[in-house]
Amino acid sequence: MNRKVTLPRKNWKVSSREYFTYFMQSQGSMLRVLMENIYFNLEGILGQAPRINFAVSNLKQACIIGGQRYSARPDGAAVIGPRDRRVPIISFVGWYEGQTWCEFLSEVLSIMLGQLAGNVTGKSQDQAVFVGGFHRLEIYIALHTKGCSEDESFDLQSTRGYNLILKEDWLEATHGLTRLLRYMGMQR
């Protein structure tokens, strides 16, 4: 399904979002704890791959499109590298009450573009970007693997929404996050 979304110039300045700052940070914390627990329980990855750190971040990512600067702040991230040069490998995004699906997608996209720009201009050169986030009661894992196209379209793929209250969804979501962390740990 194709959707046209408008990127916010600064995702944290979207008027509706400003009222839910602490709620968004709480979701970032929940995603961080979930990802940390999965990561620290992985067998065979710790010690073999670069250490992944988790933070509810003040990380700001930026990109320039058509001469306009866009900035995004994820609600948390899994990062690698030394403290002064950490690179996000999976960013976290929250949802606020009243946010539409298209607004959620634009936030995910702005964070992905910022992460992609940081990867391409930094040491990583990786064009695959991943975002995990909540929308309403469900968690989604979004990915983009191909950089940007000349016509400014962006192929965003996503899992279905996993309702973490349901055991079957919980197991599928944690299995997907486990595979993602294994993949990211071995790629670096």
Could you report the per-residue pLDDT of 51-76, keeping only the tens digit for each?
Answer: 778 876 677 777 777 788 878 888 88
**Whole-angstrom distance, CA of residue 71 vs CA of residue 136:** 24
Banded pLDDT at 170 (limits 50, 70, 90): very high
Region 91-113: mean pLDDT is: 85
Q: Compute φ and ψ for 55, nearest 5 degrees.
A: -145, 145
Q: Which residues of 65-95 are buried (b: 16+ CB within 10 A; e: fewer)?
A: eeeeebbbbbbbbbbbbeeeebbbbbbbbbb
Banded pLDDT at 110 (limits 50, 70, 90): confident
Mean pLDDT of the chain: 78
**Whole-angstrom distance, CA of residue 140 vs CA of residue 162:** 7
Per DSSP, the three-state class of 70 is strand
Q: Where is pLDDT greater, at 156 or 150?
A: 156
Closest to 139 measured CA to CA, from 175, 184, 109, 186: 175
Domains in the chain and their CATH numbers?
Answer: 11-187 (3.90.1570)
- Please tell me the chain's helix, strand, coil percentages from 3-state DSSP, rounded to the nearest 5: 40, 25, 40
The pLDDT assigned to 17 comes to: 78
Question: Pairing state of beta strands 87-93 and 129-135?
Answer: parallel
**Whole-angstrom distance, CA of residue 133 vs CA of residue 108:** 8
CA distances from 159 to 3, 11, 28, 119 (A): 16, 23, 19, 23
Alpha helices in 41-100 (DSSP H): none
The answer to whether residues 146 and 47 touch, using CB atoms and an 8 Å cutoff, is no
**Whole-angstrom distance, CA of residue 134 vs CA of residue 122:** 28
Region 92-103: mean pLDDT is: 86
Predicted TM-score (pTM) of this structure:
0.78
